Structure 1
Amino acid sequence: MKHRFSRMGVRGRLLLAVLATVAVALIVMTVAFNYLLSVSFRSDADDRLRNLALDESSRISISNGRVTLPQPTGEIQEFGTQIWVFVSGATVSSPNVEPNLQAAAKSLDGQPAQYLDVPEQEVRLYGVPLYYEEERIGTIVSGLWMGSYNYNLRMTLLATGALALVLLLVLGFVGRWVLNAAFRPVSRMTAEAEAWSIADLDRRFEMGEPHDEVTQLASTLDGMLDRLAAGLRRERRFSAEVSHQLRTPLAKIKAEAELALRRERNPAYYQEALASVSQSADQMTRTVEALMAAAQEEGSLARGRASVWQVLEEASASVGVLAGENGVRVRVEPPLRSLYIGVERDIALQIIQPVVENACRFARSTVILGAGRNGKEVVFTVEDDGAGVTEEEKDRIFEPGVRGSAAEAAEAGGATSRGAGLGLSLARRLARAASGDVEVTAGRIGARFVVRLPTG
């Protein structure tokens, strides 16, 4: 039984608990009502018996030692009440009744005032002493047929029992309807949750402001889904950024390998190629470590110290293969004096490199890298002679997965894909995490990107 109850649904258990509680309450109320009704009937019967005995005693006349009273006749069931009068042990007046009822009335003679039930005839008797000149001379016994009382009690018990059963059934249907209505939002939430997939990151239960337990649960689950969605987005963004940032060193490794395998080379060339592959592998390692650190410590990247000139040189070298494929020359303009930034070199490179790669993809012939100090900031500039960026795109191109009109125009002209639209988003995110920023302005010819980082 316990195992079956535990396997029931919440609605079933609640309905069963409510019905059990109400059933117990109805049983207690039915029993209490019928008990109080029986007490009331008994009290009414006792009052009638006492009044009957009192009336009869007032009708008795005693003269010269003789007791004179009306002679009762008929059965007790006919009149409902009857009287016995016993004087000095003798029966002076008696109705025509069954012997056992007659014997019961006789047994009250000489006894103090008391009641006596005769269940066989459904009769209640009341015996009271009869006095003459302050001396007891006999007993008056009044009798009352209780059949009508007992019938009313039985019918009341059946009626209240039937009413309780009907109320319980009605309550069961009403309770089931109310519970179904109350749990309908939970059922809907369950169905929606089963239908959602990992692609539905923005789906929510949306049950409005919390005002009861169900809407509070929905609000709590929506909050949990927000946190899970944010975590999944970070995970996806990290995977996309790692893939994006590893393409350049992987392309360099592939290019070096293809050139080395194209024909026989002298040992010096192979050593140079292997050194380049090793450098690209080191760059991949630094890239992964930098992105891991950025993912784990986002918001606190403004620490460490790096040379601005070294960052510019490494950024220029990292895009050598991409610049060669696009026929673009990357020129670095050294700063007028030694400058340092308050960011680790690998983090700074991950910020600058996507901006330089973007310039190499859309420049016609030249990309210029420069840097200078402006108060407490070091300002890196990346200029190209491409199509530039329209005013409407200045903020939109920094959104993940968004590419500007230049990339769309190139693809419309039959060119291959020029990126996934993740580099600039990564650069701005990392720059802002390092207390800097990445912006784009109109250049002298094409686009001019400005990277601001704190001085070190």
Structure 2
Amino acid sequence: MLKFRTRLILSHLAVIVVILTSVGFAAYWMLSRAVYNQLDAALLVVAETEAAVLSSSPYRAIKLNDTLSGSDRLSFARIDRLIQVVDSEGKVLAQSANLGNTQLPVPANLSAMFANSETVFETLFSFGDEPVRMVSMPIDRLDTPVIVQVAGSLDDVHNVLNVASLLFVMMTLGLLTAVAGVGLSLTRKAFQAIENIVQRAQHINEANLNERLPHPGSRDEIGNLVDTLNEMLDRIERSFEVQRRFTADASHELRSPLSRLRTELEISLRRSRDPSEYHETLQSCMDEVERLTLIVEELLVLARMDAGLERGSTETVSLNAIVEATVKRMQSMAGKRDVQIIAEPMPQVVTNMAYGSVDLILTNLLDNAVKFSPPGGRVSVRLAVTENKAALSVCDNGPGIDQDEQQRIFERFYRGSVASTRHVAGAGLGLALSQAIACGHGGYIEMTNNDEGGSVFIFKFPLVR
């Protein structure tokens, strides 16, 4: 298949050929009409002149003015016209000397011409050695109708048209050559820039995603294309970086409990122990297994959400019922940490989401709030309603989150400095999972610090009207 560059040039030339051909035919037709009209006008002038002479001298014998009188004045009058006068029966009454013994053909519809006083133009292709153009004009002379016929050669007309045709062909070929040359040069220049972009793009892979395509320096379509491709490379690089970091963090989070699990099992098998010691070791191993199971389940949910497979079937649910059930379930864990969870009075809110999704988001937010609240602390759950959105807030009175860490708390496996220094349990997936679920249902989670201390996580989502 032809290259796009070749197809573009050929298409361009085809359009130019069609345009020039159409213009050439139109110009040729107009020139032909103009030349023929000029000849017809010249013949008609001669015919009218002869008719005027015959009409002004009705008693004189018919005589044609086909020769110049012996005048000293300069005259450009044409004497190469063939002139003939015939009566109503087609009999020749007079003719110019240049006709010799030849007669101009008489029109077949003489009666119609005399009746309508119609002047007729016709072309004689087989008269003499050259094609001839003839005009026949009826006049009345002493109540005797006669026809004045004037003919002229079409040789000059055909010569003009032939020269014009040759000129049109030469101009068309010249224009095509010029247009083809200019088009080829411009196309080569434009596609050379594209080929440079393609060659550079072919050398960019996952190992050198930091490289970018060279910008041509112009703000035209090619410049916009390069900007768009570079922006796409930026997004791809960020995605690869997130994927690399995610893989590294996942490997680390899975390796740590597996290492601890293996170490405890190896220590337990070095010598015989009491049943209570075995029970303690097995309980510790069970805790590590549960932590591994939770991490794997959250990773699977995130992977399915990334693939668009975990949004869940939506339904019209009462947010008040979900808040009440989730707060009641979390009270036991909060009580062990001497933290109180309080659901403040809230309006009735109905939303179109999956029940399990809302429950998981609220559970993760409450779990974080309880873990980071000091003993005797308090976690508040509030609900505010605007015109078309609802905002579910979870507030704690813990240490809060530093400003420079707030932009990263929703990243996968990210754990803030407070979580690391206090050795708070968790893998850093809860907030990332909650944010992904919220975005999948048309909402989002944002975070801020309380003026009095602590953090506020706000889950905003659309209402059902």
Q: TM-score, normalised by structure 1?
A: 0.58
Contact 2:66/2:96 (8 A) holds in 1: yes
Cα gap change, 1:109/1:377 in structure 2, threshold over 3 Å: closer, same or farther? closer
Q: Which runs of 5+ in 2 are unaligned?
A: 69-77, 114-118, 307-322, 342-361, 380-394, 421-427, 433-444, 458-465
1:272 CA displacement = 5.1
Secondary structure (helix, strand or coil) at the match of 1:107 reads coil
- In 2, Cα distance between the equivalents of 1:374 and 1:42? 106
In structure 1, the residue matched to 2:124 is 118
Aligned position for 2:22: 28
User: In the TM superposition, what are the counterparts of 1:206-355 in structure 2 within 5 Å?
Assistant: 225=233, 227-260=235-268, 263-266=270-273, 268=275, 273-290=281-298, 305=330, 307=333, 338-339=338-339, 344=364, 348=368
Provide the residue aligned with 1:56 in structure 2.
Answer: 50
Residues 294 and 430 of structure 1 are in contact (CA less than 8 Å); yes or no, is this contact kept in structure 2? no
- Aligned identity (percent) is 22
RMSD, matched Cα: 5.1
Task: Report if the CA contact (8 A) 2:298-2:429 is conserved.
Answer: no
For residues 319-360 of structure 1, give each alpha carbon's deviation from its aligned partner in whole angstroms, at most 9, with x where no partner exists: xxxxxxxxxxxxxxxx8xx126886499759x98xxxxxxxx
Distance 1:291 1:380, change over 3 A: farther
Residues in 2 aligned to 1:452 and 1:374: alpha-carbon distance in whole angstroms: 10
User: 2: distance between equivalents of 1:185 and 1:426?
Assistant: 53
More helix by share: 1
Give the counterpart of 2:33 among 39, 50, 68.
39
Deviations 1:414-455 (Å, cap 9, x if unpaired)?
xxxxxxx976589697697697799xxxxxxxxxxxx96669
The equivalent residue for 1:384 is: none
- Structure 1 segments unaligned to the other structure (5+ residues): 1-6, 311-334, 353-369, 382-393, 401-420, 439-450
Say if 2:114 is the partner of 1:107: no
Aligned residues, how many? 351
Q: CA deviation at 1:378?
A: 4.6
AA at the equivalent of 1:119: F
| Cα distance change of structure 1 residues 152 and 426 upon mapping to structure 2, 3 Å threshold | farther
Structure 1 residue 287: deviation in Å?
3.1
1:377 equivalent to 2:396? Answer yes
Deviations 1:207-229 (A, max 9, x none): 69997665665565556555544
**Could you tell me which of 58, 66, 75 is aligned with 2:61?**
66
Does 2:191 match 1:196?
no
- Return the alpha-carbon distance in structure 2 between the equivalents of residues 59 and 168 of structure 1: 55
- Give the secondary-structure state (helix, strand or coil) at the position aligned to 2:41: helix
1:164 alignment partner in structure 2: 172
Q: Is the 8 A contact 2:448 2:456 kept in 1?
A: no
Aligned to 1:92: 94
TM-score, normalized by length of structure 2? 0.58
98 and 22 in structure 1: CA distance in 2 versus 1, 3 angstrom threshold: farther
Deviations for 1:385-412, whole angstroms, at most 9, x for unmatched residues? xxxxxxxxx969x989xxxxxxxxxxxx
Structure 1 distance, partners of 2:417, 2:15, is: 62
Instruction: Sort the Cα spacing of 1:35 and 1:246 in 2 relative to 1 into closer, same or farther, 3 A.
Output: same
**Shift, 1:49, TM fit:** 0.5
Change in CA separation of 1:52 and 1:284 when aligned onto 2, cut-off 3 Å: same
Q: Deviations over 1:221-247 (max 9, x none)?
A: 556555544544443332222222223
Does structure 2 retain, via aligned residues, the 8 Å contact 1:114–1:128? yes
My pick for the range that moved more, 13-22 or 370-379, is 370-379
- 1:129 and 2:138 equivalent? yes
1:49 counterpart letter in structure 2: L
- What's the CA shift for 1:129? 3.4
For the Cα contact (< 8 Å) 2:62–2:93, is it kept in 1?
no
